Structure 1
Amino acid sequence: MNSAGINSVTQMVKPFETKGSTPTSTPYEAQKSFSSVLKQSIENLNKTQLQSDVLTEKLARGENVDLHQVMISSQKASITLQATMEVRNKVIEAYQEIMRMQV
């Protein structure tokens, strides 16, 4: 089983892990790192969705496609989308919490 969705979430978290109290990168580098990880994760999500669509269309046209592979691909796409939505929700919650902080 390919765990591309879980790996992409893990890759999103790794650049932000801290190993001590001293920052290891500048805010600009952290922003670039976050944006590249986010872009890569969205591209992986899109790729998974497209693979599922292609297999589903082949099955609907009656082509010789293994039903198990179609269902597995569909479930991978669904789980990847759910994980992405959860990460998005957590990011929005964190942003809202930061906005509520008094300076």
Structure 2
Amino acid sequence: MAIESVSMMKPEMLMPSGQTERKSPFETQQAFGEMLKNAIGEVNNAQQASDVMTRKLVQGEQVELHDVMITAQKASVMLNTSMEIRNKAIEAYQEILRMPV
């Protein structure tokens, strides 16, 4: 299986099949906002799952310690990743503001 660089790919390869039409800026903004909302929801769900597993462990319910630790680590990684993405987005925005017009 050959691995091609991103620059060698055609635009139609980057878009999901059946989505060859161009979207308006408004539609793109809506799709991006929805994607961010879903990503934040996934991080929230991971945090809640970690809380539930930790609570079960503390209350003495039948739960494996390694499952609790794995769930907590997944939530931690997801939160740290989302914070780093936020930080990079803010840095990019600030850099754009510093550009001369």
User: Shared topology, TM-score over 0.5?
Assistant: yes
Q: CA deviation at 1:33?
A: 1.1
Please list the CA deviations of residues 15-60 of structure 1 after superposition, one character each: whole Å capped at 9, or x if unmatched.
xxx939xxx3221111111100000000000000000000000000
Rg larger in 1 or in 2?
Answer: 2
Output the CA distance in 2 between the equivalents of 1:93 and 1:25. 27
Residue aligning to 2:78: 80
**Bigger helix share:** 1
Residue aligning to 1:25: 23
Output the CA distance in 2 between the equivalents of 1:102 and 1:27. 24
Residue aligning to 1:99: 97
Gaps of 5+ in 2: 1-9, 13-21
Residue aligning to 1:70: 68
Aligned residue pair count: 83
**Identity fraction in percent:** 52
Q: CA deviation at 1:73?
A: 0.1
The CA RMSD over aligned residues, in Å, is: 1.6
Output the CA distance in 2 between the equivalents of 1:71 and 1:93. 33
Q: Under a length normalisation based on structure 2, what TM-score does the superposition of the two structures give?
A: 0.77
* 2:51 maps to amino acid: D
* 2:35 maps to amino acid: V
SS, match of residue 11 in structure 2: coil
The structure 1 segments of at least 4 consecutive aligned residues displaced by more than 2 Å after TM superposition are: none
List aligned pairs for 1:3-82, cutoff 5 A: 19=11, 24-82=22-80
Please list the CA deviations of residues 66-102 of structure 1 after superposition, one character each: whole Å capped at 9, or x if unmatched.
1110000000000000100011011101111111111
Q: Under a length normalisation based on structure 1, what TM-score does the superposition of the two structures give?
A: 0.76
